[in-house]
Amino acid sequence: MAPDTPLSISEFARRTRLSLKALRLYDQLGLLKPSEVASNGYRIYRESQLETARMVALLRRLDMPLDVVKSVVSAPSSSEASELIASYWDGVERRVADQRELAAYLGGRQAEHEVFEREVPEQLVLTALRHLRIQEMEPWFNEAHPALMRRAATFGGLVGAPYRIFHGAVSEDCDGPVELCVPVASPGEGLRVEPARREAYVRVSRARFEFPQILSAYEAVERWMSSNDRPCAGPPREIYVAGLGYATARPEEIVCEVAFPLG
């Protein structure tokens, strides 16, 4: 059969294992349009479209959304299509890892965090303080952190991981406040001194970073302080050892530390 032999929609569906309903939907979305539509309204496809249609069917088996499928099949080169598929699958793996940890958290089967202690020297920090609820947290952080990083150059640059201090509870109903701190090298107007302290902390992987999974890290440190008769001496903090890069980190990578100052 010649490469551009016309095929009826029924024959095309049979050879691609796509339903008539799916083919009509793909036509409407511009994902897989017939080569022509006959005067009687019948859709006509071509032999040369079979490979694309089979690729669509395989991508849908990955539960890939149709808009992403469209981007893959319309990519100008096979290498760009491969990058889109790899990027999508990385996102799937991160989402599944997050969901696995959430399921473990909800089921009470999550692995216990190991608690560490350390001395933290006095720090000069640029800060931004805001009252906000949990749904406002990440948009504010993504805006405030780059702004503080730009200002940090005026004070000799960054000398440590940024962190947030939770001066009050943050949830759907509680609004903190939360203070974002960026440690800098040189003194100057507008800086705050964060006193030296000893703190207990746990390391948090990307898979356990999202709310509410991260609550298990707070609970682990609080249990440790209670069991070891070590009173808390200040509000808890989240230290972002991966900076703003945590969104693309692998599930097992450490992106954050949850710390409590000790008395």
DSSP string, 28-61: HTTSS--SEE-TTS-EEEEGGGHHHHHHHHHHHH
Q: Are 38 and 76 in contact, with CB atoms under 8 Å apart? A: no
Residue 251 lies in a domain: yes
Query: What would the pLDDT profile of 164-189 be if each residue is shown by its tens digit?
Result: 999 998 887 889 999 999 999 999 99
Cα dihedral 199, 203, 209, 215 sign: negative
> Does pLDDT of 6 surpass 50?
yes
> Does pLDDT of 103 surpass 80?
no
Residue 192 lies in a domain: yes
- Domain termination residue (choose one: 38, 73, 108): 73
> Does pLDDT of 38 surpass 90?
no
pLDDT of 105 reads 61
For residues 127 and 225, membership in a common domain is answered with yes
Number of structural domains in the chain: 2
Per-residue burial over 2-21, b = 16 or more CB atoms within 10 Å of its CB, e = otherwise: eeeeebebeebbeebebeee
For residues 124 and 215, membership in a common domain is answered with yes
* Mean pLDDT, residues 27-56 taken together: 91
Residue 33 lies in a domain: yes
Distance between CA atoms of 175 and 167, rounded to whole angstroms? Answer: 10
User: What CATH number does the domain containing 41 carry?
Assistant: 1.10.1660.10
Model confidence at 127, pLDDT cuts 50, 70, 90, reads very high
Residue 80 lies in a domain: no
Model confidence at 1, pLDDT cuts 50, 70, 90, reads very low
Range of the domain at 138: 116-261
Q: What is the pTM of this model?
A: 0.61
Residue 254 lies in a domain: yes
Residue 107 lies in a domain: no
